[in-house]
Structure 1
């Protein structure tokens, strides 16, 4: 059986994290969460690595919370802060490239945006679909989307919960490369190869400096998102929406 999260060296100093939970279509299953935590821990403790490429499999990058997780949130039995998926790339000491070759859905899209570099696929869908179910966004989405996409597009994505193809986002002027799906990993590798030419200590020092405002500002927004969840998950109809609309 293939690993749900696979680590593979892609060249000197370059390590790829491949999310491939085919059973759950890369929703945040317990196996995927544990695998990502182990992968980033391994990378943190390995001084040979200079850059990480985070990617998915086939048509899926990351698909957000499972249906059971969303229902547990609605019942007040869980909080998304029980794992730090949303901040793993941000807190990784070395640069992380999100090679989003497949769909990025809900918290999965937000997680990818916390990387230092982002590459999208023209054909894939990207969405922050929290409001589709009637509850407000989590996973730091209300923080990272305005930072990375601009306030106007971020508000539209968060409030409408619409699906956007990568090609459409490219036309809207997002500041990331958008390439055909089969070229996403190749593009990420070319970028990684320009990074590994630099000394690891310098990469770490500069990343620490560049992302310091994000690391400092994120906790307060996470608290606000949790407070909004306390208000919105318990509304009438939310559990019904999760039960009937999930996966559509």
Structure 2
């Protein structure tokens, strides 16, 4: 299989494990093209019988800091919601388990990407945030479905309505994080878990995962359709414009409900 998918996604192989590295450092902001390349990589991994599990890791300071608020129209971030969510559904359609190695920020769509994985190994500096309300916006990337399923409805509502950052240690008892390790051990720990999975029978791995996850891709599709409707009208509000400004300027928004 290919070792590179677009300009920002690379794949290497370690035994029966595919190591997928995203590199739009330092923040790995999402774009439609970037997410398409990532979905292409996982689709290719599904087609390789020798590969049984994947590690998803990122170069740079942050795992994924969400959409680029400054260049969002150019980058295909918040200004291109539906195409982005099409690629999100493709990611959730991956057949083989994924272990995410998370450092720094996993925010907005970056949180959605981390939650897409089956497991999250995090460094102590990792922080997770559904900061959409701080932008005057509605959560997306299927998070209104996946986050309650992962950490329960109350914790999910807490994250979505406050926009607060949840540190790795705090997220551990929630089930948001599966293991916290020093930054220098992060990738090794993620690979170790992936190898533990990959030593098992490949057909049984895929079959068991499919039963456990259910029709997650279809559910994400339905939920992103709902999320996109809410995001559509909110994007036209004054509060959204103020939210983008305030987050970019690192201050509390002066919202008016208009």
- Which bracket does the TM-score occupy, shorter chain normalised? 0.7 to 0.9
Q: CA deviation at 1:84?
A: 3.3
Work out the CA distance in 1 between the residues paired with 2:177 and 2:59: 24
Q: 2:24 aligns with which of 9, 21, 25?
A: 21
Q: Equivalent residue for 2:3?
A: none
Q: CA deviation at 1:81?
A: 4.0
Q: CA deviation at 1:109?
A: 0.9
Q: Equivalent residue for 1:214?
A: 216
Q: CA deviation at 1:225?
A: 0.8
Computed over aligned residues only, the root mean square deviation of the Cα atoms, in angstroms, reads 2.5
Structure 1 residue runs without a partner (length 5+)? none
* Equivalent residues, number: 243
Q: 1:46-57 counterparts in 2 under 5 A?
A: 46-57=48-59
Structure 2 residue runs without a partner (length 5+)? 1-5, 251-258
1:51-94 deviation per Cα after TM superposition (whole angstroms, max 9, x unaligned): 010111232111212223369787xx632444534334421111
Query: Under a length normalisation based on structure 1, what TM-score does the superposition of the two structures give?
Result: 0.87
**1:4 lines up with 2:8 in the alignment:** yes
Work out the CA distance in 1 between the residues paired with 2:141 and 2:249: 19
Q: Given that residues 89 and 115 in structure 1 are in contact (C-alpha distance below 8 angstroms), is that contact kept between their aligned partners in structure 2?
A: no
Alignment CA distance shift 1:141-1:92 (3 Å)? same
Work out the CA distance in 1 between the residues paired with 2:23 and 2:83: 23
Q: 2:160 aligns with which of 158, 161, 170?
A: 158
Q: Which runs of 4+ in 1 moved over 4 A?
A: 70-74, 171-175
Deviates more, 1:130-139 or 1:86-95: 86-95
Secondary structure of the residue aligned to 1:126 is strand
Q: Equivalent residue for 2:108?
A: 106
